[in-house]
Amino acid sequence: MSLTDILSPSDIAAALRDCQAPDSFSPKKFFQTSGMSKKSSSQIKDIFRILDKDESGYIEEDELKYFLQRFEGGARVLTMSETKTFLAAADHDGDGKIGAEGIDNFKYR
């Protein structure tokens, strides 16, 4: 399964265009523009599994900085500031990673 099985390629492209410049990434806007915010919990879990590159059941800071590249290989890496802000917004138990069990926090609805 790939992200384009769940999300529209044109929506993904639009979301990536919106955050090309360093420090322009907004998780909420990205989720809205890419269509992720409109997906069911099941679909979000599928997206989470795709983004969890090491298949640990968590998305850690190191994986999160490559978040945009999971959507398109040539996309930029998130800055340290963007990564920290994104992680803080989605990591509600403070363990430094985003768990699959907290996937609804990941949706930015």
Q: Is residue 1 part of a domain?
A: no
pLDDT, average across residues 90-102: 80
The CATH number for 66's domain is 1.10.238.10
pLDDT, average across residues 63-78: 95
Q: Is residue 27 part of a domain?
A: yes
Q: Is residue 42 part of a domain?
A: yes
How many CA atoms lie less than 13 Å away from 85 in the CB half-sphere? 11
Q: How far apart are CA 35 and CA 30, in angstroms?
A: 8
Residue numbers in the known binding site for Ca(2+) are: 52, 54, 56, 58, 63, 91, 93, 95, 97
What phi and psi, each to the nearest 5 degrees, are found at residue 59? Answer: -110, 110
Predicted model pTM: 0.87
26 has pLDDT over 90: yes
Q: Find the domain containing 17 and state its range.
A: 8-106
